[in-house]
Amino acid sequence: MISRRALTTSCLPPTIRQLLSSRTASDPVQVNGWVKSVRRQKKVAFAMISDGSSDKGLQAVFTKVDLAKPLTNGCSVRLTGKLADSPGKGQDKELQVDQVELLGECDPAEYPIQKQALSVEHLRDHCHLRARTDEITAMIRLRDLASRSLCRYFEDQGFCYVHTPITTSSDCEGAGEAFRIAPPPSPDLPSSENPAEFFGRPAYLTVSSQLHLEALANAISRVYTLSPCFRAERSQTNRHLAEFWMLEAEWAFTRDIDDVCTVLEGSLRHVLKQAGASGEPVWTAGERARLPQLQAYADSDTAWPRLTYAAAVAELEAFHAASPRTFDFAPAWGRPLQSEHERWLAEHLARGPLFVTDYPAHLKAFYMRQNDAPGRDPRTVACVDLLVPGLGELAGGSLREEREDRLRGAMVRFGLGEEEYGWYLDLRRYGGAPHGGFGLGFERLISWMSGVENVRECIPIPRWAGRMLL
């Protein structure tokens, strides 16, 4: 009745990357990809073929020029031929084509991805096609590399990768920027009545996985996630998206904000080193000059500097007094650090990544742990922002208030009810352990590593206020 067949381990032909890195190349090979450019001469034609697996692409050589006739920019093809050492410049190997199969035509007059440089705005308008450009391909491959490196780091440190919910009953940061899920239309109800909530209560899209991670960290000690987060943020900046990805790690049995800095620094050094060592062509889109600088941060044999907020403000004030025209905003204790302050601290004071710790409590979220040990400023909380040159804030973390009475006090001050956050208090009531963690904006990391300034070009299909094309 059921016939058995032999087991096939793989059915996928090699990618261009795999072909170029393999040593045996005498057999006839099949190459699939898209035509990036065609150059026709009298006795020979050339085409650059890319399949997105490598930034190099592969040069195809047609000694039978007729074979190249149907090729246009953008079309997809299957070429059969021999891989050979290339006599030309710019590539080690080329494909000597014997056979061409046109898989998908592309009218070069209409094709939105032309060979010449295209504006960022044009590519955003065609974001379903923009991954066909070298720049966006490189960015997508960098995301792959960065997420893999981050995962390996946390795996090695005994962390467990977990999935936290996207739909949530609360607005974690209390900033009122959470998207709300509409109750489903209910044909059973008269239209005058409010339709029932699907979950029986209002539901939002998560702005951070942290609170849920805390529940899991208080059971399995070390957890992390790379998860989408959402903010109904209307400001149109280089650094904000309505939908973005965040690497968040949370762990129990830590009582010092220095530990949070150390784990965060360790994970970033690991990613930077992996990117440097990979030889991956991930830098096409950005300044290649940036790579040695990033490697220096990764290889530095002293820890990235750490400064309290109070000390940072003192530095800013001293500089502001000496050069009063540099900052638009005067720095002062108790005021938020502006972007211009953050960048000055990283770029001019530290000349590299800088941890700023122990901010005033009123500038930070309700769950951060009060600094009330002797010798600490009790107006501050045990938190940290990581500032980097060229970008400003890349990540933020804190110890979480694990003492039920103090957390309850903070919730009252922030106007948060027990009905919504009772479960969060429970985590403290039943064997709550001292714990902390951080969140790292994944698109900001990609922006920092690649030198691509706008985070809209650091995610394959971006979302921002007014923009959702597909």
Residues 36-75 that bind a second copy (CB under 8 A): 51-53, 74-75
CB-count burial class (<10 Å; 0-12, 13-18, 19+) for 301: exposed
Nearer to a second copy, 188 or 328 (CB): 188
Residue 266 in contact with a second copy, rule: CB under 8 A: yes
| Distance, CA of 469 to CA of 103 (rounded, Å) | 27
| Distance, CA of 170 to CA of 180 (rounded, Å) | 10
Residue 259 in contact with a second copy, rule: CB under 8 A: yes
> Is residue 160 left, alpha or beta, with left meaning phi > 0 and alpha meaning psi from -120 to 50?
beta
Nearer to a second copy, 175 or 465 (CB): 465
Helix (H) or strand (E) holding 436: strand 435-441
Binding to a second copy, residues 312-331 (CB under 8 A): 315
Contacts with a second copy, 362-401, as mask; x by CB under 8 A: ----------------------------------------
Q: Which stretch binds a second copy (CB under 8 A): 11-19, 331-339, 364-372, 388-396?
A: 11-19
Contact 181, 203 (CB under 8 A): yes
Number of residues that bind a second copy (CB under 8 A): 134
Residue 88 in contact with a second copy, rule: CB under 8 A: no
Cα-based distances in Å from 362 to 185, 335, 358, 394: 41, 9, 11, 21
Q: Which two tokens stand for residue 124?
A: 């955003």
Q: Which stretch binds a second copy (CB under 8 A): 5-13, 333-341, 380-388, 408-416?
A: 5-13
Contact 469, 127 (CB under 8 A): yes
| Distance, CA of 401 to CA of 450 (rounded, Å) | 36
Q: What angle do CA 453, 458, 459 make, to 5 degrees?
A: 155
Nearer to a second copy, 202 or 379 (CB): 202
Q: Which two tokens stand for residue 369?
A: 């742990």
Residue 149 in contact with a second copy, rule: CB under 8 A: no
Residue 286 in contact with a second copy, rule: CB under 8 A: no
Nearer to a second copy, 88 or 155 (CB): 155
Q: Which two tokens stand for residue 145?
A: 């590399």
Q: Which stretch binds a second copy (CB under 8 A): 115-123, 153-161, 372-380, 409-417?
A: 153-161
Binding to a second copy, residues 209-238 (CB under 8 A): 211-212, 215-216, 218-222, 227-228, 230, 232
Cα-based distances in Å from 34 to 20, 41, 133, 236: 17, 21, 11, 34
Nearer to a second copy, 148 or 362 (CB): 148
Rounded to a whole number of angstroms, the minimum distance from the CB of residue 302 to a second copy is: 4
Residue 417 in contact with a second copy, rule: CB under 8 A: no
243-252 and 58-62 strand pairing: unpaired
Residue 198 in contact with a second copy, rule: CB under 8 A: yes
CB-count burial class (<10 Å; 0-12, 13-18, 19+) for 157: middle
354-357 and 383-388 strand pairing: antiparallel
Residue 106 in contact with a second copy, rule: CB under 8 A: yes
Residue 2 in contact with a second copy, rule: CB under 8 A: yes
Rounded to a whole number of angstroms, the minimum distance from the CB of residue 224 to a second copy is: 10
| Distance, CA of 241 to CA of 218 (rounded, Å) | 31
DSSP letter for each residue of 47-70: EEEE-SS-SS-EEEEESSGGGGTT
Nearer to a second copy, 59 or 133 (CB): 133
Residue 174 in contact with a second copy, rule: CB under 8 A: no
Rounded to a whole number of angstroms, the minimum distance from the CB of residue 167 to a second copy is: 5
Binding residue for a second copy (CB under 8 A) from 45, 59, 62, 170? 170
Residue 287 in contact with a second copy, rule: CB under 8 A: no
Amino acid making up residue 144: D
Rounded to a whole number of angstroms, the minimum distance from the CB of residue 406 to a second copy is: 14
Tell me, rounded to whole angstroms, the distance of Cα 333 from its chain centroid: 32
Binding residue for a second copy (CB under 8 A) from 432, 437, 439, 441? 432
Task: Name the DSSP letter for residue 329.
Answer: S
Binding residue for a second copy (CB under 8 A) from 24, 116, 302, 323? 302
Residue 17 in contact with a second copy, rule: CB under 8 A: yes
Binding residue for a second copy (CB under 8 A) from 243, 317, 340, 347? 243
